[in-house]
């Protein structure tokens, strides 16, 4: 039997979370983690403009490893993560997105943007009660961040066109599951309309 799911009430103030939109995830030619992301990047650009027009905060995350002992088990399971080392061009935010201030970049080592970072504290200080989670990949760091956002009591939107995954079936399955239990998975246009209210 399928679970019944309700839409969340709109937040008063949203932050845009752009998860791992680094070159390592958006360049399928030079990175083993890369995927085709042009459509998602274009959707994120539109969301960034909408959020910044409201003077709401924008946070990027980037996975960066400085030492071999950081997330050693995660990296053992997924050795391709080892390309995301400090100083590599692969950890830089995709140049198609504007990561200059007032946008902020949070360095992380785990899947969730909240784990081992001060993201929750920053959002609380900004007066945020909702987040729009975008980026890469849907089945990994986007999902982990969206679940943790809900667990920190933020209202969560995941715009389907603003996330992507290397595996289309994993992308679809995770969006379905997120919408059922953790977030409102909306179209880009529905998300923009909610941000404009």
Give residues with Cβ within 8 angstroms of 150, minimum separation 6: 156, 182, 183
Residue 17 phi, psi (nearest 5): -105, 115
141 given a catalytic annotation:
yes
Catalytic residue among 33, 44, 141, 186: 141
CA dihedral 168, 145, 92, 137 (to 10 degrees): -10
Query: Would you please indicate which residues are annotated as catalytic (active-site) residues?
Result: 141
């Amino acid at each position: 039997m399928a679970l019944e799911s309700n839409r969340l009430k709109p937040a008063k103030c949203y932050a845009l979370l752009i998860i791992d939109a680094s070159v390592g995830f958006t360049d399928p030619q030079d990175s083993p983690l890369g995927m085709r992301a042009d459509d998602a990047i274009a959707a994120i650009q539109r969301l960034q403009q909408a959020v910044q027009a409201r003077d709401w905060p924008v946070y990027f995350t980037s996975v960066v490893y400085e030492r071999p002992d950081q997330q050693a088990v995660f990296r053992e399971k997924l050795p391709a993560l080892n390309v995301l080392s400090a100083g590599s061009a692969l950890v830089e935010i995709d140049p198609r997105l504007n990561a200059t201030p007032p946008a902020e970049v949070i360095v992380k080592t785990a899947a969730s943007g909240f784990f081992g970072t001060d993201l929750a504290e920053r959002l609380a200080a900004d007066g945020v009660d909702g987040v729009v989670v975008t980026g890469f990949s849907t089945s990994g760091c986007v999902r982990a961040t969206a679940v943790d956002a809900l667990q920190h009591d933020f209202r969560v939107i995941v715009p389907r066109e603003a996330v992507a995954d290397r595996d289309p079936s994993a992308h679809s399955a995770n969006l379905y599951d997120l919408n059922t239990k953790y977030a409102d998975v909306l179209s880009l246009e529905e998300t923009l309309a909610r941000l404009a209210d």
